[in-house]
Amino acid sequence: MSPRAQLQLWAAQRIGAAVLALCVTVHLATMIYAVRHGLSATAILDRTRDNWGWAGFYVLFVLAVSVHAPIGMRTICGEWLGLSGRAVDVVLAALGVALAAVGLRAVWAVFAS
């Protein structure tokens, strides 16, 4: 992988981190609100069903995780486990796709249920 591509990965991970900082804050605030107001699962689903705002927010959240996590894992694999190279990059790209798939499936479930 060229240094330019490595720089692009670094930039993508930092941008992902910035998005996650916002998303995690909103997500935690939402959870605290739901718990403190005693919202049931049904009540939560009533709010998320057909709600494009929440769906868009969690799609952004899932995509940020899918970008951020594999790139961070790539660094950890290289520095702590001594694993690097094309095979590792392919496996971690697959991890990103898998995270996106299961995350988007969950978003779809609370949007279309």
Partner 1 sequence: MEDKIDVSVWRGTEQGEFRHYSVPRLASQTVLDVVTYIQRRLESSLAYRFACRVGMCGSCAMTVNGVARWTCRTHVEKVAPHGVLEIAPLSNLPVIRDLVCDMSSFFDKWARAEGHFHPTATRTDPIVRVQPDTPARRAADAGIECIGCAVCYASCDVVAWNADYLGPAALNRAWTLMNDERDSGGKVRLAAVSGDAGCHACHTHMSCTERCPKKIAPTAAIAGLKRATLAALLAGRL
Residues that bind partner 1 in the complex, under the rule CB under 8 A: 1-4, 6-8, 10-11, 75, 78-80
| Alpha-carbon gap, residue 14 to 9, rounded angstroms | 9
Residue closer to partner 1, measured from CB, 6 or 51 = 6
| Alpha-carbon gap, residue 111 to 94, rounded angstroms | 25
The least CB distance from residue 95 to partner 1, in Å, is 18
| Alpha-carbon gap, residue 104 to 12, rounded angstroms | 20
Largest CA distance in the chain: 52
Question: Residue 6, Cα to own-chain centre: how many angstroms?
Answer: 20
The least CB distance from residue 89 to partner 1, in Å, is 11
The least CB distance from residue 98 to partner 1, in Å, is 24
Nearest partner of 65 among 6, 8, 16, judged by Cα: 16
Residue closer to partner 1, measured from CB, 11 or 43 = 11
Amino acid identity, position 113: S
Residue closer to partner 1, measured from CB, 4 or 36 = 4
The least CB distance from residue 13 to partner 1, in Å, is 9
Residue closer to partner 1, measured from CB, 1 or 97 = 1
